[in-house]
Amino acid sequence: MSPDRLYGALTSLGLRQEEAKILFLGLDNAGKTTLLRMLKHERLVLHQPTQFPTSEELSIGKIKFRAFDLGGRQIARRAWPDYYAKVDAVIYVVDACDRERFAESKRELDALLSDEALAKVPFLVLGNKMDIPHAASEDELRYHLGITDFTTGKGKVNLADQTARPLEVFMCSVVRRMGYGEGFEWMSQYIK
Ligand SMILES: Nc1nc2c(ncn2[C@@H]2O[C@H](COP(=O)(O)OP(=O)(O)OP(=O)(O)O)[C@@H](O)[C@H]2O)c(=O)[nH]1
Ligand SMILES: [Mg+2]
């Protein structure tokens, strides 16, 4: 996706009075911090596992929103619920190559999806690391996350006719800068 389209996708976030609050969640090693750094600095940086929650104002073009990177290690996950109030969107990152942990990732995603505090919040699931040849396909990831029947479609939505919680899967590679822009574009339709 071109920077212009990504910019366009995020424009709606910038029209708000307050910053949108977006949580970056998912297991450790999924690529959350790498994505955040890429969005913020447009370059690839290597990271230590995130030990403490961080929050940053992100701007892409003139658009600002606040992103919370809470860390995905088991101990860090315990703090996730402290951040659920007034969330505008959740970006749930999955390592699409780490099949051994799909079940664990599904458990955490299920817990998030069934949390009352996040009941109406749009979820963008990013299947990351598509640049690695044995990465799972989008269908495979949907299947293992158990959300095949719950995703709401990638097209433009009629917000007035919205009964199901917005939930979609986009495959991406943060290191190749592919895929997540389309995901943001989809998600931005739901952020009012
Ligand atoms: N091949 C490949 N590796 C990636 C990609 N995105 C991230 N990684 C690598 O995945 C590893 C983990 O990335 P992080 O961004 O630190 O993961 P995290 O989700 O923040 O992990 P925690 O902080 O422990 O929750 C790093 O070695 C990254 O370089 C990608 O698109 N492709
Ligand atoms: Mg991290």
94 closest CA partner among 83, 76, 108, 82? 108
Higher pLDDT, 65 or 61: 65
pLDDT in tens, 149-185: 888 888 776 666 667 889 999 999 999 999 999 998 8
CB contact burial 34-58 (16+ within 10 A = b; e otherwise): bbbbbbeeeeeeeeeebeeeeeeeb
At position 15, the amino acid (one-letter code) is: L
Of 25, 1, 3, 15, nearest to 125 by C-alpha is 25
Tokens of 178: 């592919």
Q: What is the mean pLDDT of the chain?
A: 87
Q: Which ligand is nearest to the CA of 37?
A: 1
Q: Is the pLDDT of residue 187 over 70?
A: yes
Q: In the chain, pLDDT over 90 holds for what percent of residues?
A: 60
Q: Are strands 167-171 and 123-128 parallel, antiparallel or unpaired?
A: parallel
Q: Ligand 1: which of 27, 28, 29 to mutate, most ligand atoms within 8 Å of CB? A: 29
Q: Tokens 């990638």 correspond to what residue?
A: 154
In this prediction, residue 191 carries a pLDDT of 77
pLDDT for 44-64, tens place per residue? 777 789 988 999 888 654 556
Q: For residues 22 and 90, is the Cβ–Cβ distance under 8 A?
A: yes
Q: Does residue 9 have a pLDDT over 90?
A: no
Q: Which two tokens stand for residue 63?
A: 């658009």
Pocket perturbation via mutation, ligand 1, pick of 25, 45, 47, 78 by most ligand atoms within 8 A of CB: 47
E strand spans, 29-158: 54-60, 63-69, 89-95, 123-128
Residue with CA nearest ligand 1 atom 11: 29
Domains in the chain, ordered, with CATH?
3-188 (3.40.50.300)
**Which residue bears the tokens 């990013």?**
126
**Closest atom, ligand 1, to C-alpha of 76:** 25
Structure-block tokens of residue 163: 């009964």
Cα–Cα distance measured from residue 26 to residue 32, given in angstroms and rounded to the nearest whole number:
7
| Beta-carbon-side half-sphere exposure of residue 109 (alpha carbons within 13 Å) | 28
Dihedral sign computed on CA atoms, order 167, 108, 173, 89: positive
Ligand in closest contact with the CA of 32? 1
